[in-house]
Chains A and B, each alone.
Chain A
């Protein structure tokens, strides 16, 4: 019995030490710093003040951008990924499926940095706008707008949405669809009543994955937003590396963690009721 306990601890030790040093301690440090003050030459001076939190309004734009573009980006990812995953899981012959799945991952073989550069050119003056201009459709400004950031994040995070949904749909017992059709449902009804509810866990996972990562995103807004559309992540980079206001940066970071916790908790509650609940006839 004691041997067993010892073994368990030994197995858990590496991961535990890692989490303690790389997650728990930094979080504690950030939390403590958020109540401190900026030193004369930047950095951190111990203090106990709520000024940093009262001052969060100064970074309102970053919060607003993150809290609008992250959910919007997640939703657009979902709307594109679901039909794609559905096609891959249910309509593609097994011979082609592997190849097509690899194609979904292929973009990951190149760094997001390089791919974002590509988008800078595509959306910049020489790219799509000039093409539209040549076709006589006006010369819209795309780069350095929220739209450009949205395009970038949807492009970058789409595969993360495709895979969980694909797995959920792939695991779906196809005999349920046969049963549904033999019990009188046309295909669209089978989809709404069998396929969609049973793929909800995949949808929830994909949305969670994309949303959480988007909340912390800073590279794509920095490159495609051109300093005009910035996320909380950009504010953090700015505060810690440029203005060296660690105390205020810590307060922003704590606020981000809190916002994330609240939204994720709300989302989990919602999806649990939505996907895992018992539907009775009266609820249908």
Chain B
């Protein structure tokens, strides 16, 4: 069991700053998700914590111990890779047990620990298979099993579900949440999928261009974003950013989520025509072209019929509007 403290971490590759002084403080047993667009530095941060990359400056402390310069093997961590990185020459049982045998555990204790993890993840019937004989979801489970069997003080996940198909991803997401609840280990989880981050994490860290834009509980980040980047990154469909001057609101930009706009065929504050309709059954998304505000995305609950080029009127929920200055910082 361990907390993770990162302070003033920097890293450059070939003169390009990838991490620009990061601070992070993860409590014991918490599940944190690092999210951000490709190239934001989230994977590099994870590799720094894992010890696969050594930072230029700053410190990483795990359970109060400075591990910044320690070899990966000395850190008491376990990482699950996006590619799974299972040993192709070992069976499932071999993959699960090899780390324990290496650590000097007896054959009987290893077999016991492997059986326990196999039961936990439902890998029992697969124990003698080679990785190439497994499906993607099964491989993913073995990779997770290989990490948890060692009982490390910190779990690191590098986009573990991104190679799975959509249905399996949802299933594994639930399993991950369940696993965390049962094991209660400190976890850092990198993903570009905000749904995974929102549903799994205690805390979300939104990163951009080597910096942390905001850290907070999923719903805090969603409802109370610090700036336009976070507001735009979290939430799907994306938040609308409209001209504050034309709406007579403070600041430069008004941010309003598509679900906080109502549509009427009779009257409203802003009029426009329906440009594009996405009917998903559970929800209906409209892209409305307006003369004064440009395109506005609207999200409606349930199945609603609209025709292309139909004239509609929009009303904004003023309570939910967010205001940003010219630099994109939130005005409160």
Chain A positions within 8 Å of B, measured between CB atoms, are 173, 175-176, 178-186, 189, 193-194, 197-198, 275, 278-282, 284
Contacts and interface: CB of A to CB of B under 8 A. Distances in A.
Contact of A185 (B83, B102, B111, B147): B102
B85 A173 contact: yes
A122 to B, nearest CB: 42
A180 B228 CA distance: 40
A281 B102 contact: no
Contacts of A284: 94, 97-98, 101
A281 B114 CA distance: 9
Interface string B63-77: 000000001110011
Interface string B40-74: 00000000001110000000000000000001110
B93 interface: yes
Interface in B265-317: none
Contacts of B101: 281, 284
Contact of B93 (A182, A189, A280): A280
B150 interface: yes
Contacts of B139: none
* Chain A interface mostly: helix
B137 interface: no
A282 B71 CA distance: 29
25 contacts: A173-B85, A175-B81, A176-B87, A176-B88, A178-B52, A178-B79, A178-B81, A179-B85, A181-B51, A182-B51, A182-B52, A183-B99, A184-B78, A184-B102, A184-B150, A186-B71, A186-B73, A278-B90, A278-B128, A279-B89, A280-B128, A281-B93, A281-B96, A284-B94, A284-B101
Nearest to B152: A184
Nearest to A175: B85
A284 to B, nearest CB: 5
A203 to B, nearest CB: 13
A184 B73 contact: yes
Given A193-B102, A284-B98, A284-B101, A279 B90 contact: yes
B81 A184 contact: no
A185 B85 contact: no
Contacts of A176: 85, 87-88
Contacts of B81: 175, 178-179
B121 to A, nearest CB: 16
Contacts of A279: 89-91, 94
Nearest to A172: B88
Nearest to B99: A183
Contacts of B73: 181-182, 184-186
A281 B79 CA distance: 21
Contacts of B71: 181, 186
Given A178-B81, A179-B81, A184-B99, A198 B89 contact: yes
B330 interface: no
Contacts of A178: 50, 52, 72, 79, 81, 85
Nearest to A192: B102
A283 to B, nearest CB: 8
A280 B93 CA distance: 6
B256 interface: no
Nearest to B149: A183
A182 B85 CA distance: 11
Given A175-B83, A178-B52, A183 B89 contact: no
Given A281-B101, A282-B111, A194 B94 contact: no
A259 to B, nearest CB: 32
Given A184-B73, A193-B102, A280 B91 contact: yes
Contacts of B91: 278-280
Given A194-B87, A279-B89, A281-B107, A182 B50 contact: yes
A278 to B, nearest CB: 5
Given A182-B72, A184-B102, A278 B94 contact: yes
A197 B88 CA distance: 10
A197 B79 CA distance: 22
Given A179-B81, A183-B150, 5 more contacts: A179-B79, A184-B102, A184-B152, A185-B102, A281-B111
A282 B110 CA distance: 9
Contacts of A184: 73, 76, 78, 99, 102-103, 150, 152
A113 B96 CA distance: 54
A182 B107 contact: no
A186 B152 CA distance: 16
B203 interface: no
A34 B53 CA distance: 66
B89 A281 contact: no
Given A175-B81, A193-B102, A279-B90, A183 B146 contact: yes
Contacts of A185: 73, 99, 102
